[in-house]
Chains A and B, each alone.
Chain A
Amino acid sequence: MAIAGAVARRSATSRLVEAYGQEFVVLGAIIALFVIVGAVNARFLNDNNLVNIFSGNAYIAVAAIGMSLVIISGHIDVSVGSLIGVLATIAGTLAVQGYPVWIAWSVPVLVGIVINALVGALIAYFRIPSIVVTLGMLSILKGGLISYTGGTWITNMPPAFFIAQARLFGIPAPVYFMVALTILMALWMRYASLGRSIYAVGGNVEAARASGLYPERICVLAFALHGFFAGIAALLFATQLQVIQSTVPPNLELTVITAAVIGGVSILGGTGTVIGSTLAAILFACISSALVFLNVSAYWLRAVLGLLILATVLADMARRRRHRAGGRL
């Protein structure tokens, strides 16, 4: 009995590793980073820094959830950084002009949903490749934003607006958003038939169509959800500081895409989880903070991220090759 139980448990563990291999790798990397950097410089582990790591980067993790949906469905969005900038500006402008806070919060989320649903519709019904549509959106949004704001920063928002600065039990609100949305979407992707359909369409659109799904509608849905998450990310970004910069962090879209890919989302569509993308976003935040504490120039961050992408893809390919060789029955 005991032996049988052990065997069963081991196979359950190995199943878990097989299904969530990439997620475990990223989680292991985060833990290793905390242990090593904490040993070198104990201040890395103090409260302030942990808040910085988790809370200051939660908006990237939230945006990466939506990006994962889009990539799993077989598409890509290179405009999300500009979209977040536009939505943050909308939120700030509404707040400054004296609209109630709930309007300043909800309008950008709705606008995000509508814009990306339109993007999804262009891709699905006019059969324009997503890279083309979203490259266009990137320019439209970025250009529009700079023209409208003239590069100035938005200040003087009412105090109630700053949702990202709120705390509950000492933990900042963005962390709650990140954790709750990740868990919710992980469950939805796994247990809802629509979530399942996104994987099917991304894995093989013709088989999905022949099975009675509507790939066009699912594409629009994935982009609309992505717009929702971009809206939430924009709120967290807009309310974490006292000012809203009209220039979002450069290359934000690339950081978000990288998080999804390092988290195990196949760039070809069909596989991956949002747990992985959130963990990967946290890993980035850890790395950039660790570089500071190890007195390494922050300019190395992008180089490190690049190495990480290549290492991830190589590890992924090695794992697949092993499966193909050993797993065939």
Chain B
Amino acid sequence: MTSLIELNGISKSFASVRVLQDISFDVRAGEVHALLGENGAGKSTLIKIMGGVHRADTGEMHVNGNAVHFTSPRAAAANGIAVVHQELLLFPDLSVAENIFMGHAPRTGWGALDWPQMRRRSRELLDRLQSHHIDVDARVGSLSVANRQRVEIARALSQDARVLIMDEPTASLVEEDVQQLLSIVRMLRDKGVGIVYVSHKLPEIFALADRVTVLRDGARVGTAPIGELDERKLVSMMVGRPIDQLFPKQETKIGAPLLEVRNLSFGAVVRDVSLTLHAGEILGIAGLIGSGRTELALTIFGITPATSGNILVDGKAARIGSPQQARDFGIAYVPEDRGLQGLVRSQSIQENISLTVLKTLATGPLIDHRKEEKLARDSIARFGIRARGPRQIVRQLSGGNQQKVVLAKWLATEPRILIMDEPTRGIDVGAKSEIHALMSALAARGLGILMISSELPEVLGMSDRVLVMKNGTLVGEFDRTHATAEAVGAAMTLANHSGEAA
């Protein structure tokens, strides 16, 4: 059987960081080809190259046997390749029909939009997707996520897509909608469409895929027919690199409980979570994006205060309704997104570090500049921040050095409980191991660290204990000796599996 699209030796770098290396990939007519990998493995970049958003640095791409070079998403669409994006790129204030035909609407002889034809063809497309209930004149913003997704699929079909790329299509769907989506995908496959299916959910992969390709760190681990694989094997392909000495967690004496969380909930995203963090302990929280990890951190830190449940610090009840109160209980939070919540990038290193401790640095209403500068200089030395000096603007630093500034800023509050959300995301290997060494040293001094990470090797290497979150609840707990990549990875991804291995 010939391939609809075929990629050979594709490599891609962004600003000297190699994200894809020598990738070969193909999709045949009438098959579902699943694309798997951890966060950051390079799946989205590969999708974007096929969809015409990015151009590969090297390698070639063939559609129906002809070499192609896509310069834009429009060029990809003209070659019959359409992408259903995870974030659903639709226009909420326009109608369903307008969204389906945005950019390629049928015209009348006068060059005006041919509304009757547009509405009629939208109806046909939606009917093909068994979506008779969606009104072509409805405002897209008023539709449910599942229905919006169908509009986007209809949009892809309206351009005669032969290859449909679906990026985590079920990530935000409830179970019932998932089943309907799967049947739509099967129906399209039976009509000869080639489907690239990206998902973290292994049960879906086994229910749907004909072949599977696994990426890891920008390289292809392998491609195999689904019949030759089982769940354990897939998980170990995704995460199973040998864990090397990148993660130097020292043995420390685990002390008394510092932070206890009892039946904590925040709406529906954090449900009934209980955990205990001890002095000197690094407690890793593993889970996929959207499993409620970050929301748990935000709730403990008071940014989104708990809707029910209790938090105890040093065994005493702590009411935490705002970040200020959390800080006063000795809790610090190094957020997931440096740009969004961590730093004021237009300000200097000095001004960023002092932001959490302005009150203690000030005498009366005025800041003691000498104290402030000393704090900044000490932090630069202690954390090995590579900068021209305390007055350098944070925007000019590299990602790893920015992350050290965030750490310095929060450690200036002299916390006893440190929550770190993705502490090393997007920074290079050298800075990464420096931050790991810092974390280890902090734990050795008796801090309790709650570490959230998508990188399984980091979780396994750094943590004294690992908790696994899924759908807003804790589904597994592993101590250091039992926390293997297979066991934790399985708990993260498998359906209805509550691995109690500790």
Contact = CB atoms under 8 A, between A and B. Distances in A.
Interface string B302-334: 010000000000000000000110010000010
27 contacts: A191-B366, A192-B362, A192-B365, A192-B367, A194-B365, A196-B351, A196-B358, A196-B367, A200-B355, A203-B345, A203-B346, A204-B343, A204-B344, A206-B340, A207-B355, A209-B341, A210-B303, A210-B323, A210-B335, A211-B355, A214-B324, A270-B344, A270-B346, A271-B346, A323-B396, A327-B392, A329-B398
A270 B359 contact: no
Nearest to B324: A212
A199 B351 CA distance: 10
A199 B356 CA distance: 14
Interface string A303-329: 000000000000000000001100111
B347 A329 contact: no
Contact of A212 (B323, B344, B346, B386): B323
Nearest to B385: A329
A117 to B, nearest CB: 19
B492 to A, nearest CB: 27
Interface string B8-34: 000000000000000000000000000
B343 A200 contact: no
Nearest to B388: A329
A193 B40 CA distance: 40
A103 to B, nearest CB: 29
Interface of A: 15, 19, 191-194, 196-197, 199-200, 203-204, 206-214, 266, 270-271, 323-324, 327-329
B344 A208 contact: yes
Residue among A193, A213, A270 with most chain B CB within 10 A: A193
Listed from nearest, the 6 A-B pairs whose CB atoms lie closest are: A203-B344, A327-B396, A270-B346, A193-B358, A203-B346, A211-B355
B386 A210 contact: no
B395 interface: yes
A208 B355 contact: yes
Given A194-B365, A207-B342, A211-B356, 18 more contacts: A192-B362, A196-B351, A199-B346, A200-B344, A203-B344, A204-B340, A204-B345, A207-B343, A210-B341, A211-B409, A212-B324, A213-B355, A270-B344, A323-B393, A324-B395, A328-B397, A329-B392, A329-B401
Given A15-B391, A192-B367, A203 B347 contact: yes
Size bracket, chain B contacts: 35 or more
Contacts of B351: 196, 199-200
B256 to A, nearest CB: 26
Contacts of A214: 324
Contacts of B339: 204
Interface of B: 301, 303, 323-324, 327, 333, 335, 339-347, 351, 354-356, 358-359, 361-362, 365-367, 369, 386-388, 391-393, 395-398, 401, 409
A204 B354 CA distance: 15
A270 B347 CA distance: 8
A207 B344 contact: yes
A207 B397 contact: no
A271 B301 CA distance: 29
Contact of B323 (A200, A209, A324): A209
A201 B396 CA distance: 20
Contact of A329 (B301, B369, B387): B387
B347 A199 contact: yes
Given A193-B358, A329-B398, A207 B367 contact: no
A245 to B, nearest CB: 39
A201 to B, nearest CB: 9
A210 B387 contact: no
B323 A211 contact: yes
A191 B387 contact: no
A324 B343 contact: no
A237 B344 CA distance: 37
Contacts of B342: 207, 210
Contacts of A270: 344, 346-347
A329 B354 CA distance: 22
B398 A197 contact: no
Nearest to B401: A329
A192 B366 contact: yes
Nearest to A205: B344
Nearest to A199: B347
Given A191-B369, A327-B396, A329-B388, A210 B333 contact: yes
Contacts of A211: 323, 355-356, 409
Nearest to B348: A19
A318 to B, nearest CB: 16
Given A191-B367, A196-B351, A206-B341, A212 B393 contact: no
Given A199-B351, A203-B344, A203-B347, A193 B388 contact: no
A257 to B, nearest CB: 19
Nearest to A324: B396
Contact of A193 (B340, B367, B398): B367
Contacts of B355: 196, 200, 207-208, 211, 213
Contacts of B365: 192-194
Residue among B341, B344, B345, B351 with most chain A CB within 10 A: B344
Contacts of B347: 199-200, 203, 270
A103 B17 CA distance: 67
